[in-house]
């Protein structure tokens, strides 16, 4: 039942890709090794030939997810007609994203759990977060590098918190109201002058 090197590399990719989706959908504790392996078409015993532990997969899956969603944000900014922050708001704070955590930013769906993860995992998240913040900082006009970064942080925090709140209620009116309110505020946050 051995497979070729290429097949094995494909399997590894499939497992990480599945994990990156399912963790966002169910949380780190909401999906087990066995089911992730099943989704990749393998049995659970083969897992430990690929990874030392579930924790290692958590780390790799988060890196993958962050790389993907950062690339997506970059594309949205690059293709924006007019204010990139309006484009970011429409993309990130959409009804589609509220419903599907699977392929979207890790922070609204996994932020709380990440805070409880061991150092290796949190360290990987730090790298990804720095990447997002420097990407967003480049989409802000401001005098100093420092002020651009501060605005980028405040703006990204709004996006993440807005999605957390929109997802935490089952009332569709309130949920839509949250997405709209934050979307509307976002361009101002990204451009607002720092408090004197």
Q: Could you give the string, one character per residue 152-181, with x where binding to a copy of itself holds by CB under 8 A and - elsewhere?
A: -xx-xxxxxxx-xx-xxxxx--x--xx-xx
Which residues 6+ apart lie within 8 Å of 153 measured at CB?
133
Does 84 contact a copy of itself by CB under 8 A?
Answer: no
Q: Which one among 25, 44, 134, 176 touches DNA, defined by CB under 7 A?
A: 44
Closer Cβ to DNA, 8 or 76, answer by number: 8
| Long-range Cβ pairs for the range 84-90 (8 Å, 24+) | 84/139, 85/139, 85/155, 85/186, 85/187, 85/190, 85/191, 86/186, 86/187, 88/136, 88/139, 88/159, 88/186, 89/159, 89/182, 89/183, 89/184, 89/186, 89/187, 90/183
Contact 194, 143 (CB under 8 A): no
The minimum distance between CB 59 and DNA, in angstroms, equals 12
Contact positions vs DNA (CB under 7 A): 1-8, 11, 31-35, 37, 41-50, 53-55
Contact positions vs a copy of itself (CB under 8 A): 26-27, 29-30, 101, 107-116, 119, 122-123, 125-126, 129-130, 149-151, 153-154, 156-162, 164-165, 167-171, 174, 177-178, 180-182, 184-185, 187-189, 192-195
């Amino acid at each position: 039942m051995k497979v070729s090197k290429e097949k094995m590399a494909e399997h590894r990719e499939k497992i990480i890709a599945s994990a990156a989706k399912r963790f966002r959908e169910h949380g780190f504790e909401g999906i087990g090794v066995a089911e992730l392996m099943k989704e990749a078409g393998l049995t659970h015993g083969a897992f430990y030939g690929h990874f030392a532990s579930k924790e290692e997969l958590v780390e790799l899956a988060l890196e993958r997810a962050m790389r993907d969603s950062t690339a997506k944000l970059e594309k949205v900014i690059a293709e924006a007609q007019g204010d990139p922050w309006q484009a970011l708001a429409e993309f990130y704070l959409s009804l589609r994203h509220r419903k599907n955590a699977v392929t979207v930013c890790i922070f609204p769906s996994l932020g709380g759990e990440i805070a409880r993860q061991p150092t290796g995992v949190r360290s990987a998240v730090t790298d990804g977060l720095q990447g997002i913040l420097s990407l967003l900082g480049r989409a802000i006009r401001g005098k100093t590098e420092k002020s651009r970064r501060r605005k980028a942080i405040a703006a990204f925090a709004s996006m993440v918190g807005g999605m957390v709140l929109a997802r935490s209620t089952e009332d569709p009116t309130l949920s839509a109201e949250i997405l709209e309110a934050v979307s509307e505020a976002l361009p101002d946050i990204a451009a607002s002058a720092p408090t004197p």
